[in-house]
Amino acid sequence: MKKISKLIFSAVIALVAFGNQAKAEDFPADIKPLMQKYTCFACHKVDARLVGPAYKDVAKKKYSVDKIVGLMAKPQPSNWPGYPPMAPMTVPKDDAVKIAKWINSLK
Ligand code: HEC
C-alpha cells in the first residue's frame, strides 16, 4: 500500500513539473502560436531557464535580428556553456524574424 501511494505521489509531482515546463501561456498573444508551432516553448520561457536559456537572457546578448534568425537555424552551443546543445530549428524567415524581433524587445 505504501509503495503504491509513493508511486502516485511521484506521478503527481512529475505531472506538476511537466505542467510548469510547457507553458505557452507565458508568451504574448502574437508570439504564442509561433512558440507552439515550432515547439520553442518546450525548451524556452520568457524569464526563466528551462532546457534552454530564458529569452530575456538571450536579449541581453544584444544580437541583431539577423543573428538570432541565423542562430535558430544553426545554434552555437558554445554561446551557452552549461546548457545542452539546441537542435537546429526550421523556421520560415518571416516567422523567424518575428520571433527574433520579439526576443530583442524583451528587457
Ligand atoms: C529541445 C529544446 C529546444 C527547443 C525546442 C528550442 N530551443 Fe532554443 N535553445 C535551447 C538550448 C539548450 C539553448 C542553449 C544552447 C545552444 O544555444 O545550443 C538554446 C538557445 C537558443 C537561442 C540563443 C542562441 C545563442 O547562440 O545565443 C535562441 C535565440 C533560441 N534558442 C531560440 C529558439 C527558438 C526561436 C526556438 C523555436 C523555433 C527554439 N529556440 C527551440 C533549446 C531549445
Summarize pLDDT for 41-65 with one digit per residue, the tens: 999 999 999 999 999 999 999 999 9
Whole-prediction pTM: 0.85
Q: How confident is the model at residue 10 (pLDDT cuts 50, 70, 90)?
A: low
Summarised one tens digit per residue, pLDDT across range 61-82 is 999 999 999 999 999 999 999 9
Q: List, in sequence order, the alpha helices (H) in the chain.
A: 2-21, 32-37, 55-60, 65-73, 93-105
Q: Is the CB of 39 under 6 A from ligand 1?
A: yes
- Tell whether 43 is in a known binding site: no
For domain 24-105, the CATH superfamily is Cytochrome c-like domain (1.10.760.10)
Q: What is the overall mean pLDDT for the chain?
A: 87
Q: What is the pLDDT of residue 15?
A: 45
Ligand 1 atom showing the smallest separation from residue 96 Cα = 35
pLDDT over threshold 70, residue 14: no
- Tell whether 1 is in a known binding site: no
Percent of the chain with pLDDT over 70: 79
Closest CA to 72 of 40, 28, 27, 107: 40
CA of 99 from ligand 1 middle (Å) equals: 12
Q: What is the pLDDT of residue 13?
A: 43
Coil, strand or helix: which one is 17?
helix
- Tell whether 44 is in a known binding site: yes
CA of 98 from ligand 1 middle (Å) equals: 15
Q: How confident is the model at residue 25 (pLDDT cuts 50, 70, 90)?
A: confident
Residue that has been written with the C-alpha cell 520560415 in this structure = 92
